[in-house]
Structure 1
Amino acid sequence: MAKRKRDTAPTNGAAATEVQSTAAPSKKAKPTTTTAPKKKTVVSNSAALAPFKHDSDSPLTIQIIAGSYDRVLHGITATVSPKSTVQFADSFLFDAHASAIRCLALSPPSVPVKNQTQKVLLATGATDERINIYNLSAHPPSTKTGNDSRLLSSLAPRPILENPKNRELGTLLHHSGNITRLTFPNGSRSKLLSGAEDSTIAVTRTRDWALLHTFKCPIPKLQGRPSGDTASMYNGAGVPQGVNDFAVHPSNKIMISVSKGERCMRLWNLETGKKSRVLNFEKKMLQDIGEMTRGGGTGEARRIVWGTRRTRQDGEGGGTEDEFAVAWDRDVVVFGMDCIPRCRLMAGQQKTKVIEVEYVQMGEEDGSVLAVSTEDGRILFFDTNQIIAAPAPAPVKEGQEEEKGEKNKGVEVVKKSEKLQQNNNGEEGKNKKGKKEETEGLGSAKLLAQLGGKEAGVSGRIKDFNFLPVETEDGKLGWYIVTAGSDGSLRIWNLKGEELNNGEKKQVGKLLGTYETQNRITCVEAFIMIPRPEGAEESEYEFDDEESSDSDDSDEE
């Protein structure tokens, strides 16, 4: 028996070691198995962000959410009829924050489940250092209204279609500065990324709203800044600080951020949670785009977005290649995956301020175009695959150089004489090469079309915009565009894909309707609402009794 026990003991031990050995790889395999569903969820979310297949004979409902300086979070539904007429209605009006709302973020709809409605998460950030989370219904509101709603809508100047499912979930206090950016990266519903003026980027898990990781951007050093009384305006530290914007690569492995007081961009490794590298902007590039000059900007980037461009081989075919665009006050520069600037956008355009940038996907294999909103009420569309070479600088005669040097008290003459002496000493080729590198500038991307502007009766700045892709029955791609002006106006445009495919510089888009919010809008988000589930009645999820709603609230608490 003892031998049997001895025999069974090692076998049990061997079995235990086998279980441990198999469990160990299973633990190792769990991340791989969990990452595999993550990849699947990314695909499903991207499918959710794919063009909405719409029947032209049925109406389409768009949920619009606008944040404002007046601390108001305004929800509007826009119903587009088959005749391209729009009917607006107020869906909710929240006094969301204690100060101005800076940014919004929408998640994709929840996974469809039988006999259950789908929901969308809304995150709002403001200058009160808070992030509010809301739960919005993904389905159009009911047209059947109760007596109270009818009485309220009769007193209001605009129709009201309220949905009781639109409610607040809670508040996140992860930051100690003004919230500057919010995003659910690449259509993901499981993570929320937030940037703030405390120079941090927080990663929050939406399942339990736990803070998973915080990326800490270093505070820039004080260089050339005034000291004394004037230094107090820079957050008490004597230097501006905070994250202006960040963008996550579609692979969810890399993130790029730009901050205040810095003339660089930082690359972050999302797999390790650490900083990868720092890429400084070239001084000449900043000077070419109007930064680092007298009366120009400080050199810090304002916005950054990821996109794709189509690569062509022998003029036909080719795949797509990733790129990213960085926006300053007056211009936008496009970088390749090697972080080398490829082209700029606003060269040759009338001088105006850049407000917002976004890549618009043209198709799975067609790449995308870059849309830029300006201060004069336009949205410009650029093709970053077609680059127009920068014009060569005009040659300057020797007499003009000497005259210019005499006007500048002989400083330029001394510099020219020093260069001539260096050329005589055998460094002529080196100087010619250096001069060529200095005079070569970035080419400009081809302008495809523009939307809005004075030609369409829009003169105020477009503070923010959203593109909602729609695919018709015949497979044609189009967009409903929601633009928000700082004067409080919301406009809905209809843009067809063939208008951008022609490649001709012209006015595009059709204005469908305008809604005046009477608030100073700072940001806007929108999504196309999903039709009601088949067989579901409105009373099942729209008109709950007060007792049931109270019980739901108690359960959630």
Structure 2
Amino acid sequence: MAKRKLDGVDGVALPASTKRGKQDAGKPARQTSNSVKPVPIKSNGDAPKKENGTVQKKKPVVEDAVLESAVVQLGEDVDSATIQIITGSYERTLHGFTAVISRTIPEPRDAPELKDTSNEATEDDSTSKLNGKSKVADATNGTSSAITKKDPPSKDSKATLSFTDTFLFTAHTSSIRCLAVSPLKSASTPGSNTSQSVLLATGSADERINLYNLSTVPPNPSSIPKLPTLAGTSISENPRNRELGALLHHLSAVTCLAFPTRAKLLSAAGDNTIAITRTRDWTPLSTIRAPVPKAVGRPSGDTAAPGEVPAGVNDIAVHPSLKLMLSVGKGEKCMRLWNLVTGKKAGVLNFSRDLLAAAGEGRWDTGEGRKVEWDPAGEEYVVGFERGVVVFGMDSKPSALILPTPRTKLHQLHYLPSTASTTPILALSTEDGRILFYPTAAPTTSPSSSPAPDTSLPNKGPALDLPSLSPIATLGGALAGIAGRIRDFTILAPFINGPLFVVTGSSDGAVRIWGIQAGELEHSTDAKQVGTLLGTYETGARITCLTSFVMSGTAEEKGEEEQAVVGADALESSDSGEESKSD
């Protein structure tokens, strides 16, 4: 295939290509199997037009970006919706299943109470039950505590979920690290419809990015028979779900994937590179290279090979205007700001010792940022560390701290959708199975009452005095009968003026769907227990990542799509038959 020079697209400047970039520049996505052919993706108007042999650059517009990435919401007359959930695991399996949720969810029950009865502990208390409360005795010190757990929703409740498996297969040769789904276009977007398919990208430690085309049309039980299984969950395969191929332009494990728009895919890996790929023909447009951190403070007995130091990009976050991008990496006590208009570095924010100490990073901790996220309005961003979160304003100055109590490890963080709350609310998943909600607009705790920083890290200079945020609500946790860590979660608002739905994935393989009423996330002084557990699906694998989206298609449109797929399959079979005859 002839080599060609890549032009800038959507205002992204192209740096000098490397040898590997020159070899892969003109090649499409490599197929994972010879029997699978890529499905052509129609242009959605995002590609630039050529005039007089030059590419006309198009500036990213904030309104267009927000419109395209907005969550598709169903009308007020819709009582139920179908969501597609995809999970990745250590077992290299990619599992997809659907769940039908209802607009009406059970009223939130009273929050569980934890009462200390150590002063009233007797020998009979360890075996008796009072008022339906189970007492748990501590064999170590002879104390006991009465714990009231939430009762699961009744089977006759309208919120009972029905799960349907759609696909389950081994997608990679190593553990799956990250997932990303392209944004859905709302019906108000010109030239779009709500029944379009979405793109799914999966990243793994095997240096591959697998690409799939998923339909947004929910399974139709009247036309597709459900296959019975021993697990009790029905199976309904969607013929519209297709495999597109794989991208191989990274030299290390893929750590983060993001679709800022449907036309672009951003991928970060352990080789300290961030690649920008065009989804129309899956051509790598540009590669942003972050500097490799210097090996400072390595132990004398380190057995790592020369040059093998902690390196790689942990996470990236694109501003809603599509002009800026934040990244945090391994072995770096800093955050990098990138200009997506020029494709160059815009600045570096180094984390001071006082800031790291306040965020819970001690002397022997890495001090690196694990997660980074912009709020929906693009007015602030947060950097997540191992046990704390720091909120930054647009001036890149820290404005508040988030330290969960009791202290625990953090795994994922997301802002609530803009349609769900007028003020920015941050949700965190923890090691002990909780999801905590923090309002980041106004501090709720004075600086003097903030938790003391870690004394193992000496401070040189005045201590950092930042207000500490207090949670307004807690979802799950030990009081709800959940103790395993939550590796990933998503927040969906499928209904207009309806409840929120939180989909959580735990390391024990359980996917839980929670319903939160609109009035539960109000500002309060204590972290009250909110949410109702609607259903649990056991995947049987150790979940590492999770994503979900609302299936907004209709059954009539699905029939047309199935006919098109059947015609494409017939064409492929006829082509293979002609090839066999010629042989």
Q: 1:457 to 1:554 in 2, by over 3 A?
A: farther
The equivalent residue for 1:263 is 333
The structure in which a higher percent of residues are helix is 1
Does residue 80 of structure 1 match 2:80? no
Structure 2: distance between partners of 1:86 and 1:524: 19
Asked which structure has the greater RCO (Cα within 8 Å, sep 6+), the reply is 2
- Label 1:496 to 1:545 Cα distance change in 2 as closer, same or farther (>3 A): closer
Quick check: 1:98 aligned with 2:173?
A: yes
User: Cα gap change, 1:52/1:89 in structure 2, threshold over 3 Å: closer, same or farther?
Assistant: same
Query: Pick from 375, 393, 400: which aligns with 1:307?
Result: 375
Match of 1:284 in 2: 354
- Mark the CA change 1:458 to 1:555 in structure 2 (over 3 Å): closer, same or farther: farther
The equivalent position to 1:218 in structure 2, one of 291, 299, 304, is 291
CA spacing shift, 1:464–1:491, aligned 2, 3 Å = same
Aligned to 2:209, which of 118, 122, 131?
Answer: 131
- Residue 489 (str. 1) matches residue 557 (str. 2): no
Q: Secondary structure at the match of 1:45?
A: helix
Map of 1:179 onto structure 2: 254
Amino acid at match of 2:329: S
Residues in 2 aligned to 1:393 and 1:41: alpha-carbon distance in whole angstroms: 40
Whether the 8 Å contact between 1:200 and 1:217 is mirrored in structure 2 is: yes
Aligned-partner Cα distance in 2 for 1:555–1:502:
63
Q: Which amino acid aligns with 1:86?
A: L
**Residues 1:541 and 2:565 are matched in the alignment:** no
Correspondent of 1:247 among 314, 317, 328: 317
1:209 aligns with: 282
Gaps of 5+ in 2: 1-49, 105-157, 453-457, 577-583
Tell me which of 67, 71, 75 is aligned to 1:44: 67
Shift of 1:192: 0.3
Q: Give the structure 2 partner of residue 518 of structure 1.
A: 540
Is 1:506 aligned to residue 506 of structure 2? no
Distance in 2, matches of 1:332 and 1:522, equals 21
What is the CA–CA distance in structure 2 between the aligned matches of 1:195 and 1:120, rounded to whole Å? 21
Percent identity over the alignment is: 47
User: 8 Å contact 2:185–2:194 — kept in the other structure?
Assistant: no
Q: Deviations over 1:419-446 (max 9, x none)?
A: xxxxxxxxxxxxxxx99x6244221113
Secondary structure at the aligned position of 2:348 is classed as strand
Q: Indicate how the Cα distance of structure 1 residues 496 and 31 shifts in structure 2: closer, same or farther if over 3 A, else same.
A: farther
125-134 or 81-90: which moved more?
81-90
3-state SS of paired residue (1:542):
helix
Aligned partner letter, 2:168: L
- TM-score for both structures, normalised by structure 2: 0.73
Distance 1:393 1:354 in 2: 19
Q: Does the CA contact (< 8 Å) of 1:54 and 1:470 recur in 2?
A: no
> CA 1:555–1:383 in 2, change beyond 3 Å: closer, same or farther?
farther
- Map 1:185-204 to 2 at 5 A: 185=260, 188-204=261-277
Distance 1:462 1:114, change over 3 A: closer
Deviations 1:432-475 (A, max 9, x none): xx99x624422111311111111211111011000011334xxx
1:315 counterpart residue number: none
3-state SS of 1:292 partner? coil
The structure-2 alpha-carbon separation of the partners of 1:555 and 1:297, relative to structure 1 and needing over 3 Å to count, comes to farther
Q: Does 1:143 align with 2:143?
A: no
What number of residue pairs does the alignment pair up? 463
Q: Which has the greater radius of gyration?
A: 1
Label 1:392 to 1:68 Cα distance change in 2 as closer, same or farther (>3 A). closer
Deviates more, 1:356-365 or 1:90-99: 356-365
Q: CA, structure 1 residues 494+392, in 2 after alignment: closer, same or farther (shift >3 Å)?
A: closer
Cα distance in 1, alignment partners of residues 451 and 329 from structure 2 = 36
Relative distance call for 1:43 and 1:305 in structure 2 (3 A) is: closer
Task: Write the distance in 1 (CA, Å) between the matches of 2:174 and 2:553.
Answer: 35
Secondary structure of the equivalent of 1:168?
A: strand
State whether residues 494 and 550 of structure 2, in contact with CA within 8 Å, keep that contact through their aligned partners in structure 1. no
Distance in 2 between the 1:394 and 1:205 partners? 46
SS at match of 2:412: strand
- Matched with 1:455 is 479
Residue 411 of structure 2: aligned partner: 355
CA 485–221 in structure 1, closer or farther in 2 if over 3 Å, else same: same
Task: Assess, with a 3 A threshold, how the Cα gap between structure 1 residues 499 and 129 changes in structure 2: closer, same or farther.
Answer: same
What SS does the aligned partner of 1:42 have? helix
Q: Secondary structure at the match of 1:351?
A: coil
Q: CA deviation at 1:139?
A: 0.9
